[in-house]
Amino acid sequence: MAFPKRLLLIGANGLLGRMVQESIPAHYDLATADLPKIDFLRPDTVAEALRKMEPEIVINCAAHTAVDACESEEAAARRINGDGPGLLAALARETRSVLVHISSDYVFDGDSAVPYREEDPPAPRCAYGRSKLAGERAILESGLERFFIVRTSWLYGPHGKNFVETVLRLAAEREELRIVSDQVGSPTLTDDLALALFRLLETDRFGIYHFSNEGSCSWHEFASAIVEGARARGQILKVREIKPIRTDEYPLPARRPPFSLLAKDKYRSATGCEVPHWRVALNRYLDRRFGSPEGK
């Protein structure tokens, strides 16, 4: 009988980290770390944790994810999202660990007309994207051979603030919602991403991967599906109209990629697994949140 694999989960209390904890297979021996125990702004805490545990696998879900705040906090974002993963890669070489690092669709500029593949050249538009790209490059330049960099997009799930919960709250409070309709991508349910990480770990095909739910939509289409799905499950919402608007009608500090759909052929080839459609994933989330629709 094989011994459990020692796995250190960094950023364990975040949106994705908590779902990774819920999804972990039985043959892993899990240890978790989060602020203030481990802090990329204090590199000594990171080194101490890895050297003490000597994990076989490190999953890094920690990041500075406040996209707009990164515009005024780029130095801190660079240390957390850029230098932090580089430090993890160096320590993973030392402890002979496999590193799994979560990156973002924001490393791309959004000027493509077809889904981005892993080998497409990054060109981030904002400070957050630049910091995430710096983290990727730090891992690639570290000399670590056994790593997975997994880019994802539009993440939501049951353990934290996210677009779905924001739309549900505003739809209960307001008669009109104004939602951007000229940014296209794919939502990703944390359940599906967590499962994808463990599926990749069962392979030895290291490298950069893309994973999001299948299909594409705009933020406006996503919001409309959220409201429709909630109403189908008996929720009383005040909203009467979900108005599509352009990005320039809702200015924010950070520039978003107008198109950030990710191609997932490499993931499917490596794991042999299909990817759930974003509408199927959203229905699963809403079922868990409110119960199944009436009559089903």
Contacts of 7 (CB under 8 A, 6+ apart): 24, 28, 29, 30, 31, 55, 56, 57, 58, 59
Contacts of 83 (CB under 8 A, 6+ apart): 40, 43, 134, 138
Q: 288: how many CB neighbours lie within 10 A of its CB?
A: 12
Which three-class secondary structure state does DSSP give residue 66?
Answer: coil
- For residues 1 and 285, what is the distance between their CA atoms, to the nearest angstrom? 36
Bond before 36 cis per omega within 30 degrees? yes
Task: Indicate the residue type of 137.
Answer: R
Active site residue 128: yes
Closest CA to 164 of 116, 228, 103: 228
* Candidates 128, 156, 209, 267; catalytic one: 128
Residue 186, CA atoms < 13 Å, CB-side half-sphere:
28
The count of residues in the chain is 296
Ramachandran angles phi, psi of 289, nearest 5°: -75, -45
Catalytic residues: 128
